[in-house]
């Protein structure tokens, strides 16, 4: 399903897009920040659902509605606006609006209101095409916005929403420290806001929450918890996801401990470790989507597909999330030994990866430990000889 979203607040637009893509598999959202952009997008490719704000920098969202309704009376259009008085609602109704949602909105309510429109039958000629081959499916996914599987529980987010006034960014960061999908989403949103305001990148979960604010961070978490397409159901994929999630958490924990022991920033290393297996997790989600649509992995073992596709997916995610270069380098160092032995943080990430893989032994490991300023006796304990 192709969806056109007209919203000039990029943080709100990102949140609405997440609700849309988490509510129906295969949703593709085109974002526009002005009426002019939205009109061009509609003329280029009409959508099956339109959501638009009322007040835009170059006019009213009703101008887009008028354009669409001049030739199309069937496509659902939802107006999302902070102006929810009777006059605005009646004005929107005159132009055939399907629904009117007031800001600020509750994420669960937004999803509930949109669900009937997202799952309506498509007109003849707009039905989904036949399932492509698995290779084509994986290639196509690389051109779309990749997402990670998530098991974030609504019941874990709801109490936080109820106590939002008393929560700090540090409190939330502690609650969500082992949530790679949520960490990546908040970093992406925060970097979009922070770079625009100050030009400074954000590298840590607590910094991301502080940049966005507790309220928006909680709404983002709730949107992720409502992801009806994000859970894995195939037992083989679930087992692999647990393995990679556990591996990432172990690397994150060890890297943080190593960094703190020599006076470096442990949280930056922790974040990099937590995101270090995102490529594999994204591939697993795409494979689950393929199975859900009726595909089969019988001729392609998941382990083989992961080895082939995870590096490309991981690189794509780093770009998609807009991770700062230092964070990308920390993640990369886990998998490939750093060329510059003077950068101790990079050495630490590689050593943490070696330790989790039970490969922290031999002359090279001993040399890197010493170059990083770590005590070999401490970190070589309980590792193979």
Distance of CA 291 to the CA centre of its chain: 21
Q: How far is CA 69 from CA 125, 154, 218, 382, in A?
A: 20, 38, 36, 70
Every domain of the chain with CATH number 1.10.3210.10 lies at 235-379
Average pLDDT over the chain reads 87
Which CATH number is 2-118's, of 2.60.40.420, 3.40.50.300, 3.10.20.310, 3.40.50.2300?
3.40.50.2300
Contact 54, 47 (CB under 8 A): no
Closest C-alpha among 323, 344, 338 to residue 275: 323
| Helix locations, 226-362, DSSP H | 235-261, 266-274, 278-292, 302-321, 325-335, 344-356
Q: How far is CA 284 from CA 45, 64, 307, 315, in A?
A: 30, 38, 12, 16
| pLDDT of 127 over the 70 cut | no
CA distance 67 to 32: 15
Question: For 186, which DSSP code?
Answer: H
Average confidence (pLDDT) over 140-154 = 86
In degrees, to the nearest 5, what angle opens at C-alpha 306 toward C-alphas 304 and 312?
A: 125
Query: First-to-last CA distance in the chain?
Result: 55
In DSSP terms, 2 is beta-bridged to: 28
Q: Which residues of 23-53 are buried (b: 16+ CB within 10 A; e: fewer)?
A: bbeebebbbbbebebbbebbeeeebbbbbbb
Confidence band for 106, pLDDT divided at 50, 70 and 90: confident
In DSSP terms, 55 is beta-bridged to: 60
| pLDDT of 90 over the 80 cut | no
CA distance 251 to 243: 12
Say what the pLDDT of residue 279 is: 95
pLDDT in tens, 153-189: 888 888 888 888 899 999 999 999 999 999 999 998 8
| pLDDT of 385 over the 50 cut | no
pLDDT in tens, 274-322: 999 999 999 999 999 899 888 888 778 899 999 999 999 999 998 888 8
| pLDDT of 28 over the 50 cut | yes
| pLDDT of 124 over the 50 cut | no
In DSSP terms, 5 is beta-bridged to: 31, 51
Q: Which fold has domain 235-379?
A: Hypothetical protein af1432 (1.10.3210)
Question: Edge-to-edge, what's the strand order for the sheet holding 28-32?
Answer: 28-32, 2-6, 49-53, 77-81, 99-102
pLDDT in tens, 204-218: 999 999 999 999 999
User: For tokens 């990749």, what's the residue?
Assistant: 146
pLDDT in tens, 9-26: 888 888 899 888 888 777
Confidence band for 384, pLDDT divided at 50, 70 and 90: very low
CA distance 258 to 229: 37
- Across 193-247, the runs of DSSP E, i.e. the strands, are none
Other CB atoms within a 10 A radius of the CB of residue 225 amount to 21
| pLDDT of 129 over the 90 cut | no
CA distance 101 to 89: 9
User: For tokens 């007031």, what's the residue?
Assistant: 102
Other CB atoms within a 10 A radius of the CB of residue 21 amount to 23
Output the six-digit token pair for 265.
């920033």
Every domain of the chain with CATH number 3.40.50.2300 lies at 2-118
CA distance 248 to 277: 6
Average confidence (pLDDT) over 243-264 = 95
Q: Which residues of 97-133 are buried (b: 16+ CB within 10 A; e: fewer)?
A: bbebbeeebebbebbebbeebbeeeeeeeeeeeeeee
Closest C-alpha among 128, 133, 129 to residue 297: 133
60: enclosing H helix or E strand: strand 59-60
């Amino acid at each position: 399903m192709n969806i056109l979203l007209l919203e000039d607040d990029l943080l709100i637009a990102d949140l609405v897009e997440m609700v849309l893509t988490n509510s129906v598999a295969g949703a593709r959202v085109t974002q526009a920040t002005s009426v002019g952009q939205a009109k061009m997008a509609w003329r280029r490719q009409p959508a099956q659902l339109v959501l638009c704000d009322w007040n835009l920098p170059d006019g009213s969202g009703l101008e887009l509605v008028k354009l669409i309704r001049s030739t199309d009376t069937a496509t659902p259009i939802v107006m999302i606006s902070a102006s929810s008085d009777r006059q605005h609602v009646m004005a929107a109704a005159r132009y055939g609006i399907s629904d009117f949602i007031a800001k600020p909105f509750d994420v669960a309510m937004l999803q509930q209101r949109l669900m009937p429109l997202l799952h309506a039958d498509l007109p003849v000629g707009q039905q989904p095409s036949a399932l492509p081959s698995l290779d084509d499916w994986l290639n196509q996914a690389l051109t779309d916005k990749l997402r990670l599987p998530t098991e974030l529980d609504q019941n874990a987010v709801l109490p936080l929403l109820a106590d939002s006034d008393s929560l700090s960014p540090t409190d939330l960061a502690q609650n969500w420290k082992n949530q790679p999908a949520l960490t990546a989403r908040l970093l992406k949103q925060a970097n979009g806001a922070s770079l625009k305001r100050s030009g400074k990148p954000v590298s840590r979960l607590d910094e991301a929450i502080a940049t966005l604010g507790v309220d928006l961070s909680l709404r983002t978490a709730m949107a992720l918890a409502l992801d009806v397409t994000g859970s894995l159901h195939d037992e083989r994929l679930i087992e692999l996801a647990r393995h990679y999630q556990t591996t990432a958490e172990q690397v994150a924990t060890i890297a943080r401990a190593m960094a703190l022991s020599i006076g470096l920033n442990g949280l930056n290393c922790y974040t990099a470790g937590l995101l270090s297996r995102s490529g594999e997790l994204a591939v697993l989600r795409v494979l689950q989507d393929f199975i859900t649509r009726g595909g089969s992995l019988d001729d392609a073992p998941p382990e083989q597909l992961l080895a082939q596709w995870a590096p490309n997916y991981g690189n794509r995610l780093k770009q998609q999330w807009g991770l700062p270069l230092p964070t990308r380098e920390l993640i990369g160092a886990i998998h490939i030994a750093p060329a510059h032995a003077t950068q101790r943080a990079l050495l630490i990430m590689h050593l943490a990866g070696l330790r989790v893989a039970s490969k922290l032994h031999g002359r090279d490991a001993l040399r890197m430990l010493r170059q990083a300023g770590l005590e070999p006796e401490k970190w070589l304990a309980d590792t193979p000889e």
